[in-house]
Amino acid sequence: MTKDGESAKRVFILGAGASKACGLPLTNELLPDIVSSLGTKPVRKRALNFIKYLYPYFELTWGNYPNVEELLSLMDVYVEFSKKVKSSHKFEPDEVEELKDELLTAISVSLSERTAKVKIQNTQFFRLAQIMRPGDVVVSFNWDVLLESALTELKRGWNYELKGDKLALLKPHGSVDWFDGETTRIKASLTSPVIEKIGRLRVFQYFRMPRLRSRMTPVIVPPLIRKKWKYREFDRIWRCAWRALRTANEIHIIGFSLPPADLHVKFVIRSAVRINEETRTTPLKVTVVNPDKTVYLRFDRLMKTKVHYFETGFGDIELEELTAVR
């Protein structure tokens, strides 16, 4: 136990590969799915022109779209640095900010609609929710709400932070159903705070996009090399993720590829696990579930602990077999 009473027995780290098992796209498959739903026709045309500006090789007829996480990251860099390097721009920073909001909204709509079509009782997320125990922590880098849907179906409560021995669901990259409570007006009875008593992020409780006259942009953090956010909730979430990894007895990494560009995540995992390894009296158990062996190698090089590898997707693994590893 840590001195503030927060500890984790088992930590499950989820990435896009886990949601892929339910028919949701990987991040490198998401952009083609959402471009057609971007606002008006002029907005779609402007967005495609901007993609072409950043990626000269891009051709709509070829369908060689870039990874949406990389695109969002480049948009942030463009907004931050374009004025520092030149005085005039083909795309003004304010316009790029608007295009980014359009993309985030389209992502939220797409993932919400796809999640609504999933029969959650027949999924691995439902089975994962069934085996969750008090003190377990899920660190999900996914923007979708598949696990929340499964937990709700099972009438299991959770917190978006560490709170005693209650089940925790930490989402360091945000979620399609999180929004800014000061700029988006939704009836209070339809929402709840992401974390009590701090900040202004709220969560819409019905796993779909609300019907609003005004615009709702979801709070999503792309995997930038240098993370930045304006909401204090994320400070708490990242601290909780570090503490969970620091005190875990088991860490199960499912469908998360540890993108090389996401140095922030790599630092948090390395820092927490290294202290965990150095202060343990019993071996730390680490498993990786991913059909891509290079992902296993990334984690194997990140920690001293032996990493048990399952070369398969989330949908094909027996969860009892995963957690029984010694």
Check whether residue 80 and residue 134 sit in a common domain: no
pLDDT averaged over every residue in the chain: 86
Give the tokens for residue 151.
């937990």
Check whether residue 17 and residue 157 sit in a common domain: yes
Given 117, 151, 176, the domain boundary residue is: 117
**pLDDT confidence of 4, banded at 50, 70, 90?**
very low
pLDDT, tens only, 85-102: 776 778 888 889 888 888
Check whether residue 226 and residue 313 sit in a common domain: yes
Nearest to 145 by CA among 113, 177, 120, 167: 177
- The reported pLDDT for the residue numbered 259 is 83
The CATH number covering residue 237 comes to 3.40.50
- 232 belongs to a structural domain: yes
- 280 belongs to a structural domain: yes
Q: What total of structural domains would you count in the chain?
A: 2
pTM comes to 0.89
Check whether residue 175 and residue 306 sit in a common domain: yes
- Print burial letters for 278-304: b (CB count within 10 Å at least 16), e (below 16): eeeeeebbbbbbbeeeebbebbeebbe
- The reported pLDDT for the residue numbered 8 is 63
3-state DSSP helix/strand/coil percent for the chain, to nearest 5? 45, 15, 45
- The reported pLDDT for the residue numbered 2 is 40
Check whether residue 46 and residue 160 sit in a common domain: no
- Residue 253 in this model has a pLDDT that exceeds 90: yes
Check whether residue 298 and residue 236 sit in a common domain: yes
- The reported pLDDT for the residue numbered 7 is 55
- Residue 5 in this model has a pLDDT that exceeds 60: no
Check whether residue 131 and residue 113 sit in a common domain: no
Check whether residue 187 and residue 76 sit in a common domain: no
Reduce the DSSP state of residue 28 to 3 states and report it: helix
- Residue 1 in this model has a pLDDT that exceeds 90: no
Nearest to 234 by CA among 271, 195, 180: 195
- 2 belongs to a structural domain: no
- The reported pLDDT for the residue numbered 261 is 73
- The reported pLDDT for the residue numbered 60 is 84
pLDDT, tens only, 178-232: 988 888 778 778 888 999 888 789 888 766 666 655 567 788 887 665 556 788 8
Q: Please enumerate in sequence order all residues whose Cβ is within 8 A of that of 50, keeping only pairs 6 or more positions apart, or say none.
A: 91, 96, 99
Check whether residue 213 and residue 98 sit in a common domain: no
Check whether residue 141 and residue 37 sit in a common domain: no
Domain extent at residue 99? 27-117
| Range of weakest confidence among 24-33, 44-53, 293-302 | 24-33
- The reported pLDDT for the residue numbered 221 is 81
Check whether residue 55 and residue 76 sit in a common domain: yes
Nearest to 198 by CA among 237, 164, 172: 237
- Residue 233 in this model has a pLDDT that exceeds 70: yes
φ/ψ of 38, rounded to 5, equals -75, 110
Given 117, 149, 165, the domain boundary residue is: 117
- Residue 19 in this model has a pLDDT that exceeds 60: yes
Given 117, 141, 157, the domain boundary residue is: 117
pLDDT, tens only, 135-157: 999 999 999 999 999 999 999 99
